[in-house]
Structure 1
Amino acid sequence: MDSKIRLGILGGGGDSLIGILHRIASSMYDQYQIVGGVFNPVWEENIGFAKQIGIPTNRIYLDFDKMIEEELKLPLSERMQVVSVLTPNFLHFPMAKKLLESGFNVICEKPMTTSYEEALVLNDTLKNVNTVFAVTYTYTGYPMIRQMRQMVADGVIGKVQKIDAQYYQGWINPIIHDKDLRANTWRLNPEKGGISCCIGDIGTHAFDMLEYVSQLKIKSVLADLNYVYDDNKMDVDGTVLLRCENGVKGVICTSQIASGEENNFIVKVYGEKAGLKWEQENPNYLYLMQDGEPLKVLKPGHSYNSSISLDGTKLPPGHPEGIFDSMANIYKGVARAVNGEKYDEGEFPTMIDGVRGMSFIEKAVESHINGNIWTDI
């Protein structure tokens, strides 16, 4: 354990998908050891969950402030080195800010904050401390997404002409059509979720992903959002047109009311010579499309892939990898940064990704409210 990074976790208790995802991902490369945290604001559930998953209870704290207070009393050799923030959106900013100010490295769920203003404050805070900050845009950890990014950078598809992302889910259907449920769900409460539900939750994934694989900056957006009901204050569906640097245009289509859809995230980049397409529900396949040529399918683990793709591949070709592996690759990159090792800038999303994500969310909502007009990021 002495050689492992000491990890604390905030939130993610009970049957939380995010909690399971982070805990398993952190263990995959044998570089982290969970030493404590606050899994739930209710003490009985907090301590009970720690016992359930086998975490020693001496560093399970009553609340976040108590955790900071007690951890800072410990010598550096015993103190938590990294803290993962897996709480509802409205807690991301105050927790991350205090963690940074107290000298902890931070892994934060997205959206990073509930406002662009908070994101800027957090960015300024990071500039004044010597710590690592990562935002878990999880899908950037997939080996074939990293291969896609490298192929675009290497000019395999030629000059980028169009970028396109679709992210469709249907999970909010049972909630949005029930007046009581939609009024009592935190994701549809602006005080807890921020100004956007769909764009803030999954649209920001699409935005970050398109900038990640194309390595272009999106400069302005035109959004048309759907709230379904007049008493619902947060979008659950939306389409956003994009204008990028170098004249490249694109589109993001997102929905949480796409009936029957599970987690249908598709990313496409089209160049003057070829196109690349990746589908999250079939993440081991990267499609290379060329006019007049047969469709080519690239798969992880083969020597024809880039070094960053192969570094994120744990198994031989033909053995499927998935969302846990993708998140684990982000944790792996953070571990390298925390340990002072050399790492590729594409190994984990940083504070800047989080800041740009918050700007995208606010500008998309602003564009819609102002009559679907072009709005600069």
Structure 2
Amino acid sequence: MSSKIRLGILGGGGDSLIGILHRVASSMFDQFQLVGGAFNPDLKESLAFAEKIGIPTDRIYKDIDSLISEELKLPEGERMQVISVLTPNFLHFPMAKKLIENGFHVICEKPMTTSYEEAKILEATLQKANTVFAVTYTYTGYPMVRQMREMIANNVIGKVQKIDIQYYQGWINPVIHDPQLRANTWRLDPEKGGISCCIGDIGTHAFDMLEYVTQLKVGKVLSDLNYVYEDNKMDVDGTVLLHCTNGVKGLIRASQIATGEENNFTVKIYGEKAGLKWEQENPNYLYLLQDGEPLRVLKPGHPYNSALSLDGTKLPPGHPEGIFDSMGNIYKGVAKAIKKEPYDHGEFPTMVDGVRGMKFIECAVESHLKGNIWIHINE
């Protein structure tokens, strides 16, 4: 019998970008085997999709309840061990909660839930179950992001004194200006997407990245959000000022109406001795900036990088690695945790990150709605 971890997937069917990203990532290190799931609310669509990607259809289910019920009938050595939740935001919480309660490990897309209250309930559920839970803040899997984290931790840049993170996209620009599209896009529907579109979708990536690479905690936030139209209930652009717990100040700039931008995620951390800059659209370059010194460019795969960075590098220097590899590194870390093998806590985002992300979203929206005031994020 295969020693691979048996994986199921909820959502991610059809032409879903996130679906193929997870499927490819899970296959990278020969740790997981996709055995079934519910890829689409329509069972016929799910069955057709399973046939298309070449997996048996005997474990394709009409919904999560059927999946749990039927899988638990199987011997423990045959049933699915971990389920990836790739559905729209409003389904994350109920699905993840049921899965945890029934003993499954979970890999969940972000934002983890649609509210902080749900996130805390999920956290309490996980504590009782003692299973593995990962949130796919995908960009933490890039080798040079991990290198940035290790360099900051090892005091290469000195005490952090300025944080500037930008995440600009333009994809929603044609949607927001069309009243019909605006009214029928699930990401702009609070019932399906939660209280925030831009901050909830990409702003939370920026927030998690900040806390991941610096290992600081944001203490309070002040935000100014942009909804563009009065009938639009969810932000599509925003700036959030930040105070970290040790006095470091910074900002997050996020937009989905930055016309012409694709996926411009830029992370800049400045310390007393040096600065570091990383750009998602050119992820194999980590820039080290020092006063009076030439710009240095660090690249993945070289022995000067940290063990955490090298563990996430699959190819020799000079061979580009990208978003699939980044997600693959997260799956690799989850596999180690499920198998109870030693792993670095920087290998995959956890429930703690998901809860922090939901708290950030709610505080950012609250700050804006109350007239752009400081809101404490720490309890």
TM-score by length of 2: 0.99
SS at match of 1:327: helix
Q: Which residue in 1 is equivalent to 2:107?
A: 107
Aligned partner letter, 1:79 = R
What are the equivalent positions in structure 2 for 1:347-362 lying under 5 Å apart?
Answer: 347-362=347-362
Structure 2 Cα separation of the partners of residues 173 and 140 of structure 1: 27
Residue type at the aligned position of 2:175: I
Q: Give, in whole Å, the separation in 2 of the partners of 1:373 and 1:189.
A: 26
Distance across 1 between alignment mates of 2:340 and 2:44: 38
Q: How far apart are the structure 1 equivalents of 2:110 and 2:86?
A: 9
1:72 aligns with 2:72: yes
CA distance in 2: counterparts of 1:242 and 1:62, whole angstroms: 44
Secondary structure in 1 aligned to 2:361? helix
List per-residue Cα deviations over 1:342-370 (Å, max 9, x = no partner).
00000000000000000000000000000
Q: Deviations over 1:190-224 (max 9, x none)?
A: 00000000000000000000000000000100000
Q: Secondary structure at the match of 1:15?
A: coil
Provide the residue aligned with 1:3 in structure 2: 3
Deviation at 1:43, TM superposition (A): 1.5
Aligned partners of 1:43 and 1:68: how far apart in 2? 16
Aligned residue type for 1:13: G
Question: 1:155 maps to which residue?
Answer: 155
Q: 2:365 corresponds to which residue?
A: 365
Q: Distance in 2 between matches of 1:25 and 1:163?
A: 30
* RMSD of aligned alpha carbons: 0.5
Task: Provide the residue aligned with 1:47 in structure 2.
Answer: 47
Aligned residues between the structures: 377
Structure 1 equivalent of residue 174 of structure 2? 174
Structure 1 gap ranges (5+): none
One-letter code of the match for 1:319? H
SS at match of 2:273: coil
Q: Which residue of 2 aligns with 1:282?
A: 282
Q: In 1, Cα distance between the equivalents of 2:223 and 2:68?
A: 41
| Structure-2 residue corresponding to 1:222 | 222
Q: CA deviation at 1:130?
A: 2.2
Give, in whole Å, the separation in 2 of the partners of 1:42 and 1:62.
7
Instruction: Give 1:89-238 correspondences, 5 Å limit.
Output: 89-238=89-238
**Structure 2 counterpart of 1:262, which letter?**
E
> Structure 1 counterpart of 2:376, which letter?
D
SS, match of residue 224 in structure 1? strand
- The reply to whether residue 268 of structure 1 matches residue 255 of structure 2 is no
Deviation at 1:162, TM superposition (A): 1.1
Q: CA deviation at 1:44?
A: 1.6
Structure 1 letter corresponding to 2:286: L
Give the aligned partner of residue 16 of structure 1: 16
